[in-house]
Amino acid sequence: MNLQTDEEKALIESAYREMLASCQKTLSTNDISQIHRAFNLANEAHKGVRRKSGEPYILHPIAVARIVSAEIGLGTKSIISSILHDVVEDTDYTIEDMERLFGSKIASIIDGLTKINADVFDANSSKQAENFRKIILTLADDIRVILIKLADRLHNMRTLSSMPIDKQMKIASETIYLYAPLAHRLGLYAIKSELEDLSLKYRYPEIYQDISEKLNATEKRRIQQINHFSLPIIQKLEENEIKFEISGRPKSIYSIWKKMQNKNVSFEEIYDLLAIRIIFEPYPHIPEKTQCWNIYSIITDIYKPKPDRLRDWISTPKANGYEALHCTVMGDQGQWVEVQIRSRRMDEIAERGFAAHWKYKEMDTSNQEHELDRWIKRIKETLENTQENALEFLDEFKLNLFASEIAAFTPKGEIRSLPKGATVLDFAYDIHTEIGDHAIGAKVNHKLVPLSHVLSGGDQVEVITAASHRPTPNMLEFVTTAKAKAKIKDALRADAKLQADSGRVQFEKICRQHNVEPNRNDMLQELMATYSTATIDELHTLLGLNRISPDRVSRIVKKYSPNSGGFMRSIFGSNKNTAGKSKTSERSPYIAASCCSPLPGDEVVGVRSADNLIVVHKATCPECIRLMAQYGDRIVPIKWSGQEQLQYLTRVEIKGIDRMGMINDITGVITRQFTVNISKFHIENNDGVFVGYVELYIQDSRHLKALISNLQQIKGIDSVRRMDAPSD
Ligand code: MN
Residue 304's CATH number: 3.30.460.10
Q: What is the mean pLDDT of residues 345-358?
A: 74
Q: What pLDDT, on a 0 to 100 scale, did the predictor assign at position 241?
A: 92
Q: What is the mean pLDDT of residues 656-681?
A: 76
| CB 425 within 8 Å of CB 475 | yes
What is the residue type of 252?
S
Q: What pLDDT, on a 0 to 100 scale, did the predictor assign at position 584?
A: 35
Position 330 in a domain: yes
Out of 203, 237, 252, a domain closes at 203
Position 414 in a domain: no
Query: Beta strand 648-657 with 635-636: parallel, antiparallel or unpaired?
Result: unpaired
Position 619 in a domain: yes
Q: What is the mean pLDDT of residues 73-82?
A: 90
Does residue 82 sit in the same domain as residue 26?
yes
Q: What pLDDT, on a 0 to 100 scale, did the predictor assign at position 14?
A: 93
Which residues 6+ apart lie within 8 Å of 278 measured at CB? 233, 237, 244, 245, 246, 295, 339, 340, 341, 342
Position 690 in a domain: yes
Does residue 562 sit in the same domain as residue 617?
no
- What CATH number does residue 154 fall under? 1.10.3210.10
pLDDT tens digits for range 40-75? 999 999 988 888 888 999 999 999 999 998 888 888
Q: Is the pLDDT of residue 565 over 50?
A: no
Q: What pLDDT, on a 0 to 100 scale, did the predictor assign at position 123?
A: 47
- Residue 490 — very low, low, confident or very high, per pLDDT cuts 50/70/90? confident
Q: How far is CA 491 from CA 378, 386, 427, 434, 484, in A?
A: 19, 11, 17, 10, 11
Q: What pLDDT, on a 0 to 100 scale, did the predictor assign at position 552?
A: 87
DSSP H helices in 354-481: 354-363, 371-383, 390-402, 424-431, 433-438
Q: Is the pLDDT of residue 169 over 80?
A: yes
Q: What pLDDT, on a 0 to 100 scale, did the predictor assign at position 379?
A: 60
Spatial distance between the Cα atoms of 52 and 160, rounded to a whole number of angstroms: 9
CA of 49 from ligand 1 middle (Å) equals: 13
Does residue 333 sit in the same domain as residue 188?
no
Which of the following is catalytic: 13, 31, 71, 89? 89
**Largest alpha-carbon pair distance within the chain?**
105
CA of 149 from ligand 1 middle (Å) equals: 8
Q: What is the mean pLDDT of residues 371-400?
A: 57
CA of 85 from ligand 1 middle (Å) equals: 7
Backbone phi, then psi, for 624, in 5-degree steps? -65, -40
CA of 605 from ligand 1 middle (Å) equals: 28
719 CB burial (10 A radius; 0-12, 13-18, 19+): middle
Q: What is the mean pLDDT of residues 555-571?
A: 63
Tell me the percentage of the chain whose pLDDT exceeds 70.
80
Most confident residue range from 103-112, 271-280, 570-579: 103-112
Closest CA to 58 of 50, 66, 68: 50
Position 99 in a domain: yes
- Residue 388 — very low, low, confident or very high, per pLDDT cuts 50/70/90? low
Out of 203, 222, 242, a domain closes at 203
- What CATH number does residue 654 fall under? 3.30.70.260
Q: What pLDDT, on a 0 to 100 scale, did the predictor assign at position 179?
A: 86
> Count of domains in the chain?
5
Spatial distance between the Cα atoms of 129 and 148, rounded to a whole number of angstroms: 20
CA of 142 from ligand 1 middle (Å) equals: 18
Which of the following is catalytic: 8, 90, 272, 392? 90
Q: What pLDDT, on a 0 to 100 scale, did the predictor assign at position 586?
A: 37
Does residue 222 sit in the same domain as residue 178?
no
Instruction: Give the count of alpha carbons within 13 A of 615, CB side only.
Output: 19
Does residue 274 sit in the same domain as residue 346?
yes
- Residue 409 — very low, low, confident or very high, per pLDDT cuts 50/70/90? confident
135 or 80: which leads in pLDDT: 80
Q: Clarify whether 89 is annotated catalytic.
A: yes
pLDDT tens digits for range 593-647? 777 777 777 777 788 776 667 788 887 787 777 777 777 777 776 666 555 445 6
Q: What pLDDT, on a 0 to 100 scale, did the predictor assign at position 569?
A: 34
Does residue 592 sit in the same domain as residue 541?
no
* Least confident residue range of 173-177, 432-436, 498-502, 565-569: 565-569
Position 404 in a domain: no
Q: What is the mean pLDDT of residues 293-311?
A: 91
CA of 611 from ligand 1 middle (Å) equals: 34
Spatial distance between the Cα atoms of 62 and 488, rounded to a whole number of angstroms: 46
CA of 350 from ligand 1 middle (Å) equals: 26
CA of 46 from ligand 1 middle (Å) equals: 12
CA of 64 from ligand 1 middle (Å) equals: 8
Spatial distance between the Cα atoms of 54 and 578, rounded to a whole number of angstroms: 52
Does residue 515 sit in the same domain as residue 615?
no
What burial letters (b/e) apply to 477-512, b meaning 16+ CB within 10 Å?
ebbbbbbbbbbbbbbbeebbeebbebbbebbeebbe
CA of 155 from ligand 1 middle (Å) equals: 8
- Residue 397 — very low, low, confident or very high, per pLDDT cuts 50/70/90? low
Residue 613 is given by DSSP the state: -
252 or 299: which leads in pLDDT: 299
Q: What pLDDT, on a 0 to 100 scale, did the predictor assign at position 371?
A: 56
pTM: 0.60
CA of 260 from ligand 1 middle (Å) equals: 34
CA of 631 from ligand 1 middle (Å) equals: 21
| CB 451 within 8 Å of CB 442 | yes
Q: Is the pLDDT of residue 727 over 50?
A: no
What is the residue type of 676?
V
Q: Is the pLDDT of residue 370 over 70?
A: no
Out of 171, 203, 235, a domain closes at 203
339 or 703: which leads in pLDDT: 339
Q: What is the mean pLDDT of residues 19-34?
A: 86
DSSP per residue over 214-282, as a string? HHHHHHHHHHHHHHHHHHHHHHHHHHTT--EEEEE-PPPHHHHHHHHHHHT--GGG-----EEEEEE-P
Query: Beta strand 635-636 with 604-608: parallel, antiparallel or unpaired?
Result: antiparallel
DSSP H helices in 277-389: 288-302, 344-352, 354-363, 371-383
Q: What pLDDT, on a 0 to 100 scale, did the predictor assign at position 297?
A: 94
Tell me how many degrees the CA angle 121-607-195 measures, rounded to the nearest 5: 55
Does residue 216 sit in the same domain as residue 190?
no
Q: What is the mean pLDDT of residues 675-700?
A: 75
Tell me the percentage of the chain whose pLDDT exceeds 90.
24
pLDDT tens digits for range 131-159? 666 666 666 567 788 889 899 999 999 99
Q: What pLDDT, on a 0 to 100 scale, did the predictor assign at position 368?
A: 46
Q: What pLDDT, on a 0 to 100 scale, did the predictor assign at position 424?
A: 93
Does residue 187 sit in the same domain as residue 302?
no
Q: What pLDDT, on a 0 to 100 scale, did the predictor assign at position 262?
A: 78
- Length of the chain measured in residues: 728
Does residue 126 sit in the same domain as residue 241?
no
Q: What is the mean pLDDT of residues 176-198?
A: 86
Q: What pLDDT, on a 0 to 100 scale, did the predictor assign at position 252?
A: 87
Spatial distance between the Cα atoms of 527 and 529, rounded to a whole number of angstroms: 5
What is the residue type of 697?
Y
Q: What pLDDT, on a 0 to 100 scale, did the predictor assign at position 315?
A: 83
Q: What is the mean pLDDT of residues 539-566?
A: 80
Does residue 331 sit in the same domain as residue 254?
yes
Position 614 in a domain: yes
CA of 117 from ligand 1 middle (Å) equals: 8
510 or 701: which leads in pLDDT: 510
Position 351 in a domain: yes
Q: What is the mean pLDDT of residues 564-593?
A: 44
CA of 86 from ligand 1 middle (Å) equals: 6
Does residue 149 sit in the same domain as residue 245?
no
Which domain range does residue 135 map to? Answer: 6-203
Mean confidence (pLDDT) of the chain: 80
